[in-house]
Amino acid sequence: MPTEAFAIPGPGSRWRCGHCGNLTRFDVTRTRTVTEYWHFTMAGEPEVAETTVVAEEVASVMCRWCGASDRIEIVDRPTGATPDEKDLGGTP
């Protein structure tokens, strides 16, 4: 597990707010360095056709429910849950 304060959850883990138990809603502030393939039309309009993330760092993760950012922890995802079941917490 990386040692930085805000690691990005992997395929088997997720964030959880240690204060209120929120699992689903966070404000994430992050910086990304990307390499983009810019494809210009003959008229000169650019379109980003491909993006590769070269580096990514999460500066802060804040709970949308209680506003805390000091106890965001990484926990295991439940086994057997489908993506449709991820938001059972409801809206405050």
User: Counting contacts by CB under 5 A, is residue 72 touching Zn ion?
Assistant: no
> Applying CB under 5 A, which of residues 66, 69, 74, 77 lies at the interface with Zn ion?
66
Cβ proximity to Zn ion, 17 vs 61, nearer residue = 17
Choose among 30, 91, 31: nearest CA to 64.
91
Site mask for Zn ion (CB under 5 A), range 8-27, x = bound = ---------x-xx-x-----
Nearest distance, CB of residue 25 and Zn ion, angstroms:
9
User: Counting contacts by CB under 5 A, is residue 65 touching Zn ion?
Assistant: yes
Long-range contacts, stretch 9-14, CB < 8 angstroms, 24+ apart: 9/74, 12/76, 12/77, 13/74, 13/75, 13/76, 13/77, 14/74, 14/75, 14/76, 14/77
Contacting residues toward Zn ion, per CB under 5 A = 17, 19-20, 22, 63, 65-66, 68
